[in-house]
Chain A
Amino acid sequence: MLGVCMIFAAIGIETNFSVIDWCIVAVYLLGTAVIGLCVNRFVKNVGDYIVAGRAIKPYLGIATMIGTELGLVTVMYAAQKGFTGGFSAFHIALVAAIVTLAVGLSGFIVVPLRRMDVMTIPEFYEKRFGRGVRVFGGAILVASGVLNMGLFLKAGSIFVTGITGMTSPLALKLVLSGLLGLVLIYTVLGGMISVIVTDYVQFIVLSFGLIVSCIYAVQKLGWQTIIDTVTEQRGPAGFNPFHSDGFGVQYVIWMAFLGLVSCAIWQTAVVRACSAENTKVVKRMYSFSSVGFMVRFLIPNFLGICALVYICQTPALRSIFLPDDGNVDSGMTLMAMPVFVGQILPTGILGIITAGMLAAFMSTHDSYLLCWSSVLTQDVIAPCFKDGLSNKARLRLTRTFVVLIGLFLLLWGLWYPLGQDLWDYMAITGAVYSTGAFALLVFGIYWKRASSAGAYLALCSGGLAVLGLKPIAAQFNLHASAETVGLATIGLAVVTMVLGSLAMPNKRPAASEGN
């Protein structure tokens, strides 16, 4: 990150971002934080804190679900995919929409979970496989989740650098630490209720902001120029996602699985289903959110494509982002979209969009912080106490974990060398949990004979997904792509779940929800 800052400090980034935009950002962010704090008075017990009293209706559910999933980091990694993959990257959006709609219409996984009245997925593990699986699965979920959000701050700092032209590393660290501090304060105090209200505000600003950016981008560059430049730069692989020079069939299948994970297995999305008023609301929420799950990739993908076109037309930027030797740092490709947006949008609108993006950054952080700290409290720590934990103790523990995870993020964001596309990093860190969880949820809900032994084996198999991370693969001299490792891990988790359950069945077979 410091290297990227230094390159831009040397050449100077041109941007339309002005003092007016900074004022808009400051007022907006403080306003959001104040709203988050004001709803603190509604929190009286752990149910209010974690699932907002299970009183969320469909429209608010859709807003908060999209608000959480359409964060600054999503916009950054999806734009990076558009920049590197061209129009082919749209397949990620399309499969995400199809899978989410299928989950919404069928209620696959999410309806049985809501019917069981669980707050977290590990709570389901306990009901189905026993307390040990809950604690073990909860620990894996938190490790995977915290690693998954480990580079959020890095992505945030690249965004701020690109859009505002701020290149001083110290100023950047101060701005981002300040944002994280604000999030920590209102998440610690307000819990899920403040998360939901701030998600709603962020949904409004960001959805309108993204649509306006799209229109501006097409007006500025021209549709035919966009098509022609992608053809020239990426060839057929820039349009056909199955082309072997681009993503390829394996990657598309991996994306379909990740689409399912994002909406039905990933705890931050599932907690919305668990917070819904009833199973009918869950189905409606998912069906309508499929549009949001598509757009959260589609529009940023498109902005990344537009950034590619704009950079091709600007010689000063072209030499940095598209050097002749083709060696571009992944931090640089992440920076392309914010630099582009900072140069095409006028002052004022730029401030609103930046405020929306930073609010999205805060909103994703608050949801994720709350989610992982509540899993740690409810599923890893509390089950270890024989007499259980009081409501007060649970609240205090959850709030302490929120702060500790926040501190970890500050350190990890500065230390970890990315070395691959941000989306691929996130997919693999998420897969450490999701590949095992997929087997536990699907077989636990829909197969009576699934046993605790099978569950342990599947969770352990899922952990192997960590081999898809570039620095770890390099340690073991592995040359498999992230999608190969991910798909192999799913296969292994399913096989070990089935074989383990058949070889070591539970003494008393559990009732299956799906039947």
Chain B
Amino acid sequence: MAFWTTFWTVVLIIGVALFAVLSVVVTIGGWFDIRALFESIKAQHTEAETEDRDPR
């Protein structure tokens, strides 16, 4: 049982630490990705409108 106790302790510590780092990175990176998402969707709409006006 000592093996499992140590094993799960290590899993918990590593898991929480990794998640803490990931949370910070994703929070910052996600903010920029949201802005890029809106810009990309706007560009797709503009492109579609241009194609509608000039089907050639």
Contacts and interface: CB of A to CB of B under 8 A. Distances in A.
A93 B40 CA distance: 35
A221 interface: no
A94 B23 CA distance: 19
Interface string A286-326: 00100110110011001000000000000000000000000
Contact of B16 (A52, A288, A295): A295
A53 B19 contact: no
B15 A55 contact: no
B1 A236 contact: yes
A143 interface: no
Contact of A211 (B4, B8, B19): B19
Interface string A44-80: 1100100011011111111100100000000000000
Contacts of A236: 1
Nearest to A44: B45
A422 interface: no
Interface residues of A, number: 45
A55 B44 contact: yes
Interface residues of B, number: 31
A331 B41 CA distance: 44
A90 interface: yes
A204 interface: yes
A240 B34 contact: no
A39 to B, nearest CB: 8
A193 interface: yes
Contacts of A197: 34
B33 A58 contact: yes
A124 B29 CA distance: 31
A240 B45 CA distance: 55
Given A58-B29, A204-B27, A211 B16 contact: yes
Given A55-B41, A207-B23, A298-B16, A239 B8 contact: yes
B33 A211 contact: no
A90 B11 contact: yes
B15 A294 contact: yes
B19 A207 contact: yes
Contact of B33 (A59, A204, A208): A59
A52 to B, nearest CB: 7
B1 A239 contact: yes
Interface in B1-35: 1, 4-5, 8, 11-12, 15-16, 18-20, 22-23, 25-30, 32-34
B11 to A, nearest CB: 6
Contacts of A278: none
Contact of B4 (A48, A208, A240): A240
A45 B41 CA distance: 11
Contact of A90 (B12, B18, B41): B12
B27 A193 contact: no
Nearest to A289: B22
Nearest to B41: A53
Given A208-B23, A295-B19, A298-B16, A94 B11 contact: yes
Given A207-B19, A227-B5, 9 more contacts: A56-B37, A57-B36, A62-B22, A63-B26, A291-B15, A291-B19, A291-B22, A295-B15, A298-B15
23 contacts: A42-B41, A52-B37, A53-B40, A56-B37, A57-B33, A59-B26, A60-B30, A60-B37, A61-B33, A62-B26, A66-B26, A87-B8, A90-B8, A196-B34, A197-B34, A200-B34, A211-B16, A239-B8, A288-B26, A295-B15, A295-B19, A298-B11, A298-B15
